[in-house]
Each structure stands twice: as C-alpha cells, then as structure tokens.
Amino acid sequence: MSFSFDSAILEKVALRTKLSEGKEGVRLVLREIYQRGPIGTKSLARIVRIPIPIIAALRKELEAVDLISRNKHGAILTDDGVKFVEQILGFSFLEDLTCTSCSGTGIIFPLEHQRLLVKQTAFANRRPQPLTRLDQAFATPETALRRAYFLLKNDDLEGRSILLLGDDDLTSLAISLLPIRSHVTVVDIDQRLLDLISSIAKEESFDINCVPADLREPLPEQLQNKFDVVLTDPPYTIPGLELFISRALQALKPEENLHIYLAFAHRPPNQLHSIHSSLLAHGLALQQLIPNFNQYEGAEMHANTTFLAQLATTNETTILIPSSFKKDIYTGGISPTRTEYRCENGHIIPVGSREKVKTIEELKLIGCPLCGSKESFTRISRKKVN
C-alpha cells in the first residue's frame, strides 16, 4: 500500500479526489463495498448519493492503495481492505437494513401497479429527446407512479387541484392513471412536452390543463392562488430552486399547511445547508425528505437519483421572487462545463455553453463539424470552466 495502514488514508483519498463529503464520504463508500461487494459503480453512486464520475475517481484511488479491486461484477475489498475496515474502522455488521419491499421510499406498489406501469412506460416512450440546456433528465416511469402514490398516501390527490411546475417526467399522466378524482395543471417552457401531454390526455380522457410559461416571469395571473398542491423538479441550482419555489408559492392558495413536493439533487452537507436555508427563508417547513426516491434515465452527474421533499406552508411563508428573474437558473450558465465527444471517425468535438456547439442535442443535429457524422458520439472528458 502507498499509504500507512491507518485511518489517515481516508483523508488522503478524499483530498486526492476533491471529495466534498471528506473522509466520511470515503468511509461510507468502503462500508457499502464491505456490505454489498462486489458492487457496480452506478449502484454504489446511487446508494451513497455521490455522482458517478466522483465514485469512479474514488474507486481508482482506492484501487491504487490496494483497499479495493474489481471483478466482472464490480468493486470488492481486497484482503488488506477487509483487514482495514474491520480492524481500523471497526466494521463488522453485514446485513442490509433497507426495506426490500419499498427500497426505502416508503411506497409499496398496489396490485394494479404493473398494469399502470405498462401504460406509463408507453407514454414515456413517446417523449422527445431531453434538452440539456434546460437541465432536462427524464425520470423513469416507475418514479412518476411512485410520486403519484406518495401524494395519494399524503392526502394530496383526491379532490385536489394540483399544479406541476415542469413535467418532463410525465407525472401528470401517472396521477391521471390512478382511479381517483383530481384536477391537474402542467406549466412548462417546453412546448414539445405540453403537446405530448395534451395529446395523451385527449386520447385517455384525462383532466389535464397545459399552460406554456417561462417561470423566469411571474406565474400567469389565472394560475395564482388557485392550487392545493404543487410538485416540481427544478434545475438543480440554488437560483433555480428559489425561483421555482417562489412560483409554487404564487400558485398555492394563501393558506397554511399546503404542500409543495420538491425533487432535488443530493448534495454534500455544506450545499444541503444552503438548500435548507433557502427553504427556511421562504417560510416553509420541511416535513419529509426521502433520499433516492426519484430515479432517472439521465442525470449521471447526480447518480441517476434525487430526493423527494414534502414542504408545508406556514404563517411565515413568503415569496422571495415575486417579479421577473434575470439571473441564470440552469447548470450550463451557473457552472459551465466543457465536454469533449468523439465521433465515429475519431474526431474530438468540444461542447459547452462557451463553445461553438452548445449542447449534445445540437451536436447530434448538425453532426461532427469535421466530417458531418451524426451516428455516434462518445463522451471522453468533462471539465468545469472558469
């Protein structure tokens, strides 16, 4: 081993990988590999709620110091790794305490679930390609149904007026599949999604009203102070969070103990503190927060999973952004990156908000600038830019 065989190795690995969770994050990764190994990178990232690229970097560092190795099934502790976690870290408990029926979400699907999942999957298969410039990453059909059941469990569906601020996940359709009475409104900036939801709603006789709107402007007057419940999955930035929460509060009736359901990316403690501070500044009470509730087909940077929080209005609730909002809310503007893709002919194309090609969707549309290929692009690197 390149490090001494003591707990200082955790701090050194954390520093080498620039892990925001510090040595405790490294310890948690080792604990999960100890309990579940061999385990794949994606599964490990989801469980510990650390982005996949960071888990990959951690894995390489832990391999370099001979604490873990890999087989065809994933990461596993070496003999020295087992000795380290048992003798130095004190690990011995191997049983997984996560509920096998609900996977820790608190939702056990009813008997009708499989039939509804088939329909929701068919709906989801009709979605257009996600727009990365809008931070779109589609939740799985099962996630959309899980959200619907969660709202139902919390008495926020039956007889309620529900607003979805953005619905690239098609949760409005999942709600409408349930054998209950509710009225659903969807607001989105993406007309493609509104057209799809409206089309399916017409086919299925669902009660869904679709309204195009850019939430950087105040909510349309006809939607203000009208709703019992709001569900939103905003851009995973603090400005995006604060804007969408303000619009949610504009939409809710001016009453206490009404609920906002917020899907948001898992963050290290310092960043999570900023999220909580923002929610408190809005005068909202955090009633529930369920990790790993939402699963995504994209969102690799967020380990393909986010939490779901239930927020309640109080007598101190306030709208922090009542008017137009001119700042960036999307990740590409706030934390710009430069991603390099390789086309099928080996050419390297930089993509990012400061590059000639802004998004992967644009690259696929126009093709490789050097050879015109549109068939296959492989991501080879991704870096933040100043």
pLDDT digits (tens, 9 = 90+) for 352-363: 877 888 777 788
Residues 6+ apart with CB under 8 A from 267: 275
Q: Where are the domains of the chain?
A: 8-88, 113-313, 336-384
pLDDT digits (tens, 9 = 90+) for 156-199: 999 999 999 999 999 999 999 999 999 999 999 999 999 999 99
Give the CATH fold of the 8-88 domain: Arc Repressor Mutant, subunit A (1.10.10)
Give all strands (DSSP E) within the chain, no chain letters.
Answer: 68-71, 74-77, 161-165, 183-188, 208-212, 229-232, 259-265, 284-295, 305-313, 337-343, 348-351, 377-384
Indicate the CATH number for domain 113-313: 3.40.50.150
pLDDT at 360: 79
Residue 252 is given by DSSP the state: B
Give the Cα separation of 261 and 278 in Å (integer).
Answer: 15
Assign residue 214 a region (left: φ > 0; alpha: ψ between -120 and 50; beta: otherwise). Answer: beta
Contact at 8 Å (CB) between 363 and 351?
yes
Tokens of residue 134, six digits: 């809008």
pLDDT digits (tens, 9 = 90+) for 191-222: 999 999 999 999 999 999 999 999 999 999 99
What is this structure's pTM? 0.86
**Residue whose token pair is 């939409």:** 251
Whether residue 298 has pLDDT greater than 70: no
pLDDT at 1: 44
